[in-house]
Amino acid sequence: MMAAVGTLFLSLLISQAYATPTYPLELLVSVPKSGATSVTAKATLKNNGDTILKLFNDPRSILSKITHFGVKSTIFEIVKEPDVTSVPCKPHFKGVSVIFDPLQALKSTNSLDFTVLKPGQTIEVDYDLKRSYDFAHCGPGSYNIKAFHSFYHVGDSGALLQTIKASTHMSQPHVVTTSRPTSTLRKSNSFRKRDLYFKSCTDDESFQIADAAILADELVEHAKNELDALVAKKARSRYQTWFGHYDQLRLHIVKQHFLHLPKKATTFTYDCGACRSKFGSAKAWMHAYIQTHPNSHLSTRKLYLCESFWKIPRNTVGSKPGLFINALSRLPENGGTTDYYITPSEIEELALENPEGTVQNSESHRRL
């Protein structure tokens, strides 16, 4: 799901799941300059086809319009190359990780949720990667930078079109100048275990959250038991549906994630006011967002609940408890997952065709 950045060209072919037309979309991302205080990346998206494209402004992509304290939710995969004295290292993402429903986004009548690209049309977006990522965690060195490159296109019939191909031209790794952290303050008090806490929530909202958190803890225990009981020759299991065929290493990684999740949902902070006041009901497809690495070591990590969260059912796979598991698996100590694939059909296809990608996919954990 990720495409190389440095100076990088991506030809993304977007086509209907049922097959007919294909839409060539080209993404160019370059890093023209960097310094001690900034790493500037420029993303250029061009419609090389002969059809108008209506692209959803996906919070993960360069089209994102979601910001938190001035930092966009756009994600990059940035890895420092290892040398003789170090191992690969990923800088901390300081933006918010958004939990949303692509199928609900498809139904949006808000024009601000989409970017329309006519044939030959180009848009450019600039990013300061040092504003979005904490490079000091890894220190100076040579970094490989990759950009999220999946786009949802809404056709004339209202059908959802998804990326099915990407051609990538790699460039040399980009050198980032930064200093190493001077202290270990990132191990903050916000990481310690504590009681369930509500911010700007009504009594009814607090009750719904507490109920969902208790159920989430129960679902985590159930998932742990299923993983412990899993054997290689078992014909079919929920694990195989969402994580692919049996593999000892992948199973071990998923087990480790769930070993860190017990009692986390009932010892977290839930904010009912921030998303409501920022977006109201304008983003009906956005359920919640979480900042996995707060900008300040004194900040408490919170799950920010949006208007549409309250419409999610208590039970079923796409439930409130399941959302909590999805969100909490994104925290670094619980696995540091990301939603690369979201819809059930996407995740099942991922499990079949690229099961290695499931172990870091948030929604795969939610469905176990």
Residue 137 near residue 309, CB atoms below 8 Å: no
Q: Which pLDDT score is estimated for 170?
A: 39
Q: Which pLDDT score is estimated for 97?
A: 95
Q: Which pLDDT score is estimated for 83?
A: 80
Report whether pLDDT(164) > 80: no
Q: pLDDT: is 325 or 226 the higher one? A: 325
Under 8 Å CB-to-CB from 170, ≥6 apart: which residues? Answer: 4, 6, 8
Report whether pLDDT(135) > 70: yes
Report whether pLDDT(141) > 90: no
Domains 2-176 and 189-367 share a fold: no
Report whether pLDDT(45) > 80: yes
Q: Which pLDDT score is estimated for 33?
A: 65
Q: pLDDT: is 311 or 139 the higher one? A: 311
CA dihedral 298, 300, 304, 310 (to 10 degrees): -160
Can you tell me the distance from the alpha carbon of 88 to that of 138, in angstroms, rounded to the nearest whole number? Answer: 9
Q: What is the pLDDT of residues 311-358, one digit of tens each?
A: 999 987 789 999 999 999 999 899 999 999 999 999 999 999 999 999
Q: What mean pLDDT is predicted for residues 131-155?
A: 84
What beta strand segments (E) does 113-264 contain?
114-117, 122-128, 133-134, 141-148, 152-154, 160-169, 174-176, 197-199
CATH placement of domain 2-176: 2.60.40.2970
Q: Which pLDDT score is estimated for 107?
A: 87
Q: Which pLDDT score is estimated for 218?
A: 96
What beta strand segments (E) does 210-331 contain?
269-271, 286-290, 302-305
Q: Which pLDDT score is estimated for 167?
A: 36
Report whether pLDDT(270) > 80: yes
pLDDT confidence band for 163 (50 / 70 / 90): low
Q: How many residues does the chain have?
A: 368
Q: What mean pLDDT is predicted for residues 264-268?
A: 95
Kindly report the average pLDDT of the chain as a whole number: 82
Domain boundaries, the chain: 2-176, 189-367
Can you tell me the distance from the alpha carbon of 2 to that of 144, in angstroms, rounded to the nearest whole number? Answer: 12
Residue 46 near residue 122, CB atoms below 8 Å: yes
Which among 324, 262, 254 is positioned nearest to 288, based on CA atoms? 324
pLDDT confidence band for 362 (50 / 70 / 90): very high
pLDDT confidence band for 303 (50 / 70 / 90): very high
Q: Which pLDDT score is estimated for 208?
A: 97
Name the token pair of 62: 């360069």
> 189-367: which CATH topology?
Collagenase (Catalytic Domain) (3.40.390)
Q: Which pLDDT score is estimated for 307?
A: 96
First and final C-alpha spacing in the chain = 21
- Low-confidence winner among 185-189, 248-252, 329-333 (lowest mean pLDDT): 185-189
Name the token pair of 67: 């910001």
What beta strand segments (E) does 37-155 contain?
39-47, 53-56, 67-68, 71-72, 76-80, 92-93, 97-100, 114-117, 122-128, 133-134, 141-148, 152-154
Q: Which pLDDT score is estimated for 193?
A: 44
Which among 278, 310, 272, 325 is positioned nearest to 65, based on CA atoms? 278
Q: Which pLDDT score is estimated for 178?
A: 61
pTM of the model: 0.85
Can you tell me the distance from the alpha carbon of 338 to that of 315, in angstroms, rounded to the nearest whole number? Answer: 23
**Residue whose pair of structure tokens reads 């609900």 in the numeric block:** 104
Count CB neighbours of 318 within 10 A: 16
Report whether pLDDT(221) > 90: yes
- Label residue 139 left, alpha or beta by phi (over 0 means left) and psi (-120 to 50 means alpha): left
